[in-house]
Amino acid sequence: MKPQSADTPLDVEEIVLERYRQMTPQEKIAILQGLNRTAMLMALAGIQMRHGKDLPERELQIRLAALWLDRETMIKVYCWDPEVEGY
């Protein structure tokens, strides 16, 4: 088996992969939900670092949406142009 990661020993990686195989779909979904939540919280922290912690909630949510949605959708749905207003 070829290692998936250059910094993880092969025997450890095999243990991790075997555990993934044993997980139920619900367990895998729960892990993904946690990872998505972490990514969103990190994105929100980045927005607050760039624009200040005093942003109105709506602006914070729009800037968050702008990280995931394309420009055309942002303009159509939120009347927000990320190229003009930023992320």
pTM of the complete model: 0.75
Region of residue 79 (phi > 0: left; psi between -120 and 50: alpha; otherwise: beta): left
For the stretch 23-45, pLDDT in tens is: 999 999 999 999 999 999 999 99
For the stretch 43-79, pLDDT in tens is: 999 999 999 999 999 999 999 999 999 999 999 999 9
pLDDT for residue 1: 66
Indicate whether 86 pLDDT > 70.
yes
Tokens of 29: 């979904």
